[in-house]
A and B are shown apart, each in its own frame.
Chain A
Amino acid sequence: MSTYLGMPTAPPGVGHLRGTQPFDIAARRALGNSQLRRNLANATSTIRARRAAVVGELPDWEALREAGRAIKAETMAHLDRYLEQLEEQVTARGGTVHWARDAIEANRLVTGLVTDAGAREVVKSKSITTDEIGLNEALAAAGITAHETDLAELIVQLGHDRPSHILVPAIHRNRAEIRDIFLREMPGADPGLTDAPADLTAAARTHLRQRFLAARVGISGANFAVAETGTLGVVESEGNGRMCLTLPETLITVMGIEKVIPRWQDLEVFLQLLPRSSTGERMNPYTTLWTGVTPGDGPQRFHLVLLDNGRTAALADQVGRQALHCIRCSACLNVCPVYERTGGHAYGSVYPGPIGAVLSPQLTGVEENASLPYASSLCGACYQACPVKIDIPSLLVHLRARHVEERRQRRVPSPESVTMAAAAWVMASPGRYAAAQRAGQAGRVLGRDGRIRRLPPPLSAWTSARDAPVPPPETFRDWWRRERGTAQ
């Protein structure tokens, strides 16, 4: 058994890493929403096809994936060194680096920086990390209004909703729903607004333009931070991110510590992997890179907040730390048969889908997100799609094992652990195993017309929707013994 030195530090009640219900319960409600099911099936199948096409045209895709995996593994092995190098380089180029242990510390830091800049409003872009820590709520509590400027984030914010996808936060909404949200929530929206994409985009542009021009503080996330040069990078499709990053006087970037990459040249790998995996594009429309402060050009004050919030706890788990390799492309969500049917809200965290199921429990502590490692059929589609080859199925099994091991330290065993222990005891001996098989054949009395329609709990969960097979009159080993004797 392993010992985990890092303690998850994302505190309960702050940020959005935990749901109010276990996954299976939340998923049941989501599955009943036919509009959601249709929206998700349409959106994920479109992105899947696009990704498959652009990945297929690269002959060296597998080599790129391996390069991405290797860079990330090496970074994690020396994370302390690269982070200090990053701090040194950012500082040398006129930026200020802050370290935040958890969500509370990060929120306090950012709120203080905004207040110091004398701003009551901020524009935000590309920051699921700030959503992780609940920054908007913290800013609101300090009387500061945050305007989300990425189109999908804007839709989510105006709809008083939660993001349900890493890359496409409003994937659960269709055009008609978006029009209704704009008409209801956007000041001065044209009552004749249609649900044509161009009209919706034009309405959002008009709404956002005033905010960009007025904002004195911008808040962003980062896709990459290059330790060697102190350069931060954001990739996006809309250009709204670039407005956020260039127009305000003060820029505050909140970044998880795992986003650092060692060298400038490493961008070559990730700038190929990311757009093809995420939006299914050969190249994303906007790539913004900035290094410290340039007098007379862009923000004149730059703050970088480096966030832990449970990441060093994941790093301490030598198997689990792979989850920190994630570059947030969301390819695993789009290929996941579970995500496609439940959507992101059922996972209860800003990080949904397969990667969320292995990341969120590590950031909060497995006990606090115990249903997530089980929210997968282990089909392996995520592993196949991951651009940095995170073995998500193995990580899920590892976290299930951690959950079982942590629970075993409790005094009262769960019904499941008793069943599993009994099954293992039976299977460990051919004699007990054959006896159990014979006992199981008593189940034949439940059969009607060759099938069983109802079994007692917990197997009732099986027969709620599926017939069960009737045990045959003779097991294979009994047949073998009868036909061939006890010799092998």
Chain B
Amino acid sequence: MRIALFVTCLADTLFPGVGKATTALLERLGHDVTFPQAQTCCGQMHVNTGYLQQALPLVRRYVEVFEDCEVIVAPSGSCTGSVRHQHAMVARRYGDEALARRAEAVAARTYELSELLTDVLGVEDVGAYYPHRVTYHPTCHSLRLLGVGDRPLRLLRRVAGLDLAVLPDAETCCGFGGTFAVKNPDVSTAMLADKMRSVLATGAEVCTAGDSSCLMHIGGGLSRLRAGPRTVHLAEILGSTRDQP
């Protein structure tokens, strides 16, 4: 299958390993990966901070860039959530019904990585090898906006060598919340403290999730405290093999 990668601005700029791992994983499974280079950002930060009008050109760009693609994958629950649940709403708010319909059509072909693997490609064992103790944090937007359910866990359970530890209070928000983290830094940190306590309680060396943003938050806290565990995106775990760890 020909799959267009929407790498997301955050992974593109700060976590390129997530994009490389997604590419390697899908190619290993025998698919063609394309990267439309006119892509930028889904506009979620603007929408969630209230700047819907500024997000409108970004919605239009996303639609124009990906409109001709058969299937689009993003290694992010929240960016996929924005495409699926916000793009048409933004277009309608400013009276562009035609754009809203096009956005809905593209959104219907945009998948978060674990959705693409399990629902579209029908695979759970991706042939990965990752010999570490790992705990999984279900990010809020993947869990409640997309409803990915246990798809990421089903994928992780099939990874050779991986020791999966259950995260206590897993479904509680880590406190990232986009600009919430800087507008309400104290509350955000209080939530982070509890999430880090849960991660540490598992004895895992790696905390994984489907969103680089939440991982940047959790990982930034763990790193500041020299707590031990590190954060690794789900794509990077699924992309690892014995030959190319």
Instruction: Give the size range of B's interface with the partner.
Output: 35 or more
The answer to whether A461 and B181 have CB atoms under 8 Å apart is: yes
The answer to whether B16 and A479 have CB atoms under 8 Å apart is: yes
The answer to whether A404 and B184 have CB atoms under 8 Å apart is: no
Of all chain B residues, which has the CB nearest A473?
Answer: B16
CB distance from A475 to the nearest CB of B (A): 6
Residues of chain B at the chain A interface (Cβ within 8 Å): 4, 7, 9, 11-20, 34-41, 43, 45-55, 57-58, 61, 86, 89, 93-94, 140-141, 143-145, 171-173, 175-192, 216-217, 219-221, 223-224
The answer to whether B51 and A404 have CB atoms under 8 Å apart is: yes
28 contacting pairs across A/B (C-beta < 8 A): A24-B186, A338-B184, A374-B184, A375-B184, A377-B178, A380-B144, A384-B144, A394-B89, A400-B50, A401-B52, A404-B51, A416-B49, A420-B54, A424-B58, A428-B61, A437-B12, A461-B181, A462-B185, A462-B220, A465-B189, A465-B192, A466-B181, A466-B221, A466-B224, A467-B221, A475-B12, A479-B20, A480-B19
CB distance from A251 to the nearest CB of B (A): 42
The answer to whether B43 and A462 have CB atoms under 8 Å apart is: no
The answer to whether B182 and A459 have CB atoms under 8 Å apart is: yes
Known contacts A337-B173, A474-B16; A484 and B35 CB within 8 A of each other: yes
Q: For the complex, what is the distance from the CA of A273 to the CA of B131, rounded to whole Å?
A: 47
Which residues of A (463-487) have their CB < 8 Å from a CB of B?
464-469, 471-472, 474-477, 479-481, 484, 486
The answer to whether B7 and A342 have CB atoms under 8 Å apart is: no
The answer to whether A379 and B184 have CB atoms under 8 Å apart is: no
Known contacts A378-B140, A430-B40; A31 and B187 CB within 8 A of each other: yes
Q: Which of B34, B58, B187 contacts A428 (CB 8 A)?
A: B58
The answer to whether B51 and A420 have CB atoms under 8 Å apart is: yes
Known contacts A424-B54, A476-B7; A341 and B180 CB within 8 A of each other: no
CB distance from B216 to the nearest CB of A (A): 6
Q: Which of B58, B172, B176, B183 contacts A24 (CB 8 A)?
A: B183
Residues of chain A with a CB closer than 8 A to B93's CB? 1, 401
The answer to whether A467 and B223 have CB atoms under 8 Å apart is: yes
Q: How many residues on chain A are close to B (CB under 8 Å)?
A: 67
Residues of chain B with a CB closer than 8 A to A99's CB? none
Known contacts A337-B191, A424-B54, A466-B224; A430 and B38 CB within 8 A of each other: yes
The answer to whether A427 and B58 have CB atoms under 8 Å apart is: yes
Q: What are the 9 tightest A-B residue pairs by CB atom distance, in nearest-first order?
A: A377-B177, A400-B50, A466-B220, A379-B173, A424-B54, A380-B144, A476-B16, A476-B19, A404-B50
Q: For the complex, what is the distance from the CA of A423 to the CA of B10, rounded to whole Å?
A: 13
CB distance from B78 to the nearest CB of A (A): 9
The answer to whether B180 and A374 have CB atoms under 8 Å apart is: yes
Known contacts A379-B173, A465-B189; A488 and B15 CB within 8 A of each other: no
Q: For the complex, what is the distance from the CA of A377 to the CA of B183, rounded to whole Å?
A: 10
CB distance from B161 to the nearest CB of A (A): 25
4 new A-B pairs (CB below 8 Å) besides A381-B171, A429-B40?
A377-B180, A421-B51, A453-B224, A472-B14
Residues of chain A with a CB closer than 8 A to B86's CB? 397
